[in-house]
Structure 1
Amino acid sequence: MTASVIADTKAKMERAVEAAKDDFATVRTGRANPQLFQKVMVDYYGSPTPLAQLASTNVPEARTIIVTPYDKSALKAIEEAIRNVPNLGANPTNDGNIVRVTMPELTEDRRKEYVKLVKSKAEDAKVHLRGIRRKAKDELDALKSEVGEDEVARGEKELDALTRSHVDLIDDALKRKEAELLEV
């Protein structure tokens, strides 16, 4: 029974780490990256729709992203949504067929702001992991009467090791992203 709690917790923690890595990818570096727009929501006929469902993105040059809408009538809405992305600093233009987004050069101050932002996202992910751990510990405590205290104690040790390893994965991803951001 404790094994199933640990297995569920491991799966949740792995998803949390992947979500953190995806979140890190939305913070831009010196290169244009279509993942910058992965969480952009476009007001498409009155309902918020993810940009990926409305257009394709490609990177023809290091600092340019081209967004090609599947429906040309969504062009203005896509341009507006990209313009409203916080911390991007880009000014999209459209030529009637595509939206061209040229990314500005990153200054040292801007890079440091992005590092702070990524550290904040990493801390949020760690808090989420600790929340998952707390729920699993509560589940294990509820099993005490059925499986015994020794089994629950072993499960808690395993849970702590699992939490530590996933926090380390987030820290590693943070270090990689920091190095990427500070690279000139």
Structure 2
Amino acid sequence: MIADVLADAEVRMDRAVEGAKEDFATVRTGRANPQLFQKVLVDYYGTPTPLAQLASLNNPEARTLVISPYDKSALKAIEQAVRDMPNLGANPSNDGNLIRVTLPELTEERRKEFVKLVRSKGEDAKVHVRGIRRKSKDELDALKSEVGEDELNRAEKELDTLTRTYVDAIDEALKRKEAELLEV
């Protein structure tokens, strides 16, 4: 029973760290990257659809991204979704067949704003991991009548170690992303 609670906590914490890394990837650095558009939802026939399901994305140049829709009727909706993207600062151009998005050069002030945004996302991920720890601890406390106190204390220490490991993993990913953002 204790092993199940700890295993479940580990799986959920791992997912939280992966989610944080995906969130970090959506914050742009100096280069155009298809991952920037990972979470863009396009209104396709009234249904919010991920951009990756509607078009292929590639970057022929460092600051340019080309979006080639599979269905040409979705061109306007894709263009609007990209234009409405927060924190991008780009104006997509539509030539009737594909959309070119040229990202502006990042200023030092903009880079610092992105660092703040990434730190905020990192803190949210750490809060999520701590929430998982709290829920798992409650589950362990519910087992108090079924298992010994020593086993429970050992499990709580293991849970704390697990939490520290995943919080450190988020901090490490955050540090890498900050360095990437501040690199000119």
Q: Same fold (TM over 0.5)?
A: yes
One-letter amino acid matched to 1:31: R
Deviation of 1:69 after TM superposition, in Å, equals: 0.4
Aligned length in residues = 184
**Residues 1:58 and 2:58 aligned together:** yes
One-letter amino acid matched to 2:61: E
Alignment partner of 2:15: what SS?
Answer: helix
How far apart, in 2, do the equivalents of 1:47 and 1:21 lie?
27
How far apart, in 1, do the equivalents of 2:140 and 2:103 lie?
49
The equivalent residue for 1:126 is 126
Deviation of 1:22 after TM superposition, in Å, equals: 0.3
**Residues 1:45 and 2:45 aligned together:** yes
Instruction: Flag as ranges the 4+ runs of structure 1 deviating above 6 A.
Output: none
The equivalent residue for 2:88 is 88
The equivalent residue for 2:34 is 34
The equivalent residue for 2:174 is 174
Deviation of 1:131 after TM superposition, in Å, equals: 0.5
One-letter amino acid matched to 1:157: K
The equivalent residue for 1:98 is 98
Structure 1 gaps of 5+ residues are: none
One-letter amino acid matched to 1:73: S
Alignment partner of 2:146: what SS?
Answer: helix
TM-score (norm 2): 0.99
Identity value in percent: 78
How far apart, in 2, do the equivalents of 1:136 and 1:150 lie?
17
How far apart, in 2, do the equivalents of 1:72 and 1:152 lie?
60
Deviations 1:116-149 (A, max 9, x none): 0000000000000010000000000001111121
How far apart, in 1, do the equivalents of 2:27 and 2:174 lie?
12
Deviation of 1:47 after TM superposition, in Å, equals: 1.1
Structure 2 gaps of 5+ residues are: none
Deviation of 1:30 after TM superposition, in Å, equals: 0.2
Deviations 1:78-128 (A, max 9, x none): 000000000100000111110100000000000000000000000000000
The equivalent residue for 2:155 is 155
TM-score (norm 1): 0.99
Alignment partner of 1:144: what SS?
Answer: coil
Alignment partner of 2:67: what SS?
Answer: strand
Deviations 1:9-51 (A, max 9, x none): 0000000000000000000000000010000000111111110
Deviation of 1:77 after TM superposition, in Å, equals: 0.3
One-letter amino acid matched to 1:35: Q
How far apart, in 2, do the equivalents of 1:7 and 1:24 lie?
26
How far apart, in 1, do the equivalents of 2:49 and 2:3 lie?
40
